[in-house]
Structure 1
Amino acid sequence: MLENEEKQMNFSENISYKLTCAITSQLDYDEEKKEIIAYAIETVLLGILGMVIIVLLGYALNVLVPTLLTACFGTFLRRLSGGAHLKKPLNCLVFGAIAYSFIGIIVGKLKGCDLSKMNLTMVLLIALLIVFFLAPVDSEAKPIHSKSLKLKLKVSSVIFVMVSILIVGFSANEVLSLSVTFGVLSQSITLLPIFNN
């Protein structure tokens, strides 16, 4: 039965499942601990592949710095908070790379428009409320069964957005402030129920 389940998994789940089995083969871990390890491994694998795609696209569009900054904050929050998913992880990665590059272009256009720190902070407070009430959002394809993992992900998501607010509040770098704000906002929007039916 495990072999049939393994064949039905996507590529990243298959690798994380095999690595989890290898790591825990000598350990007496229950299924909840194995699920946490598998989740962490898959998160790292998808993060690396996604970042490579984002770097290539951001460089090609000549918006590498704002795209990378936006992607770093949005992607890190996504790993904690979950959100809307496309059916295949690769499609998700490509869509994410295009979206973050587009946001990088927007950040470049908004640079010099003198958006106040108060405006950016208000946007991040909206993102904080969304994250507080909705995170983590899982999917049918990748459900989170562990209640303790859900709680850890929610708390981590909220803390991450609060740290982002502090960064924007204290940063003198306009590109950094705009990138952080739009990266966190774009990810928090994917938590809304309209995108998760």
Structure 2
Amino acid sequence: MDYDEDKKEIIAYAIETSLLAIIGTLLLILFAMIINVLKSALIAAVFGVLLRRVSGGAHFSTPTKCLVFGAVLYTILGFLAQNFVQYQLIPDYMIWLSLAISLLIVAFLAPVDSESKPIHSKSLRKKLKASSVGFVVIAFIVGLVSTDPLLNVSMCLGILYQSLTLLPLFNRGGGG
């Protein structure tokens, strides 16, 4: 292709990012299938990852560490969700309480940037915060209309985990 170096870098980055997302998804599916928690793990991952796209959060030093950790963690969340539902260990108020905690964390800390992806624009920062808060509010609504306890608990765990990654303890000082 007859592209300048900047375009080649952008294309290479897009390909690398896409491949990493595919590998991460396949790892999650593999791990979740091994312990028979595919549905709950995927629900937790979808909600956690979608919130992460707009809220930011803690980063690992390499994409490989992130992929493996994410696949393992969302599999564990799927396992917990499935067992919480199966043994009726989570009353409804705990779902609402954890979503409320997530909403507060997101409202105060999102978006959290990183050294590799700083957010310089105040306008973008406001849009990301509004999107993060809006996403958690949408999750509240999903939880209100859904009668599927596995969906509600898995969604809640994915969102709670992602919101906890915004805490200054896990990154370079939080957002603003």
Call closer, same or farther: CA 1:82–1:97 in 2, change over 3 Å. Answer: same
User: Contact 1:117 / 1:168 at 8 angstroms: preserved in 2?
Assistant: no
Look up the match of 2:10.
18
- Whichever residue aligns with residue 67 of structure 1, its letter is A
What CA distance in whole angstroms lies between the structure 2 residues aligned with 1:166 and 1:182? 16
Q: CA offsets, 1:73-100, max 9 Å, x none?
A: 0011111111000111221121011100
- Structure 2 unaligned spans of 5+: none
Look up the match of 2:101.
126
Q: What stretches of structure 1 move > 3 A for 4+ residues in a row?
A: 41-44, 46-49
What CA distance in whole angstroms lies between the structure 1 residues aligned with 2:73 and 2:114? 20
Q: CA offsets, 1:4-35, max 9 Å, x none?
A: xx8xxxxxxx97x4239xxxxxxxxxxxxxxx
What's the Cα RMSD here?
2.5
Aligned residue pair count? 167
- Whichever residue aligns with residue 137 of structure 1, its letter is V
Secondary structure, aligned partner of 2:57? coil
> TM-score, normalised on structure 1?
0.76
Q: CA offsets, 1:39-86, max 9 Å, x none?
A: xx5897254442222112211221111100000000111111110001
Look up the match of 1:10.
none
Call closer, same or farther: CA 1:133–1:173 in 2, change over 3 Å. Answer: same
Look up the match of 2:48.
74
What CA distance in whole angstroms lies between the structure 1 residues aligned with 2:160 and 2:15? 24
- Structure 1 unaligned spans of 5+: 7-13, 21-37
- Whichever residue aligns with residue 36 of structure 2, its letter is N
What CA distance in whole angstroms lies between the structure 1 residues aligned with 2:101 and 2:81? 19
Call closer, same or farther: CA 1:42–1:83 in 2, change over 3 Å. Answer: farther
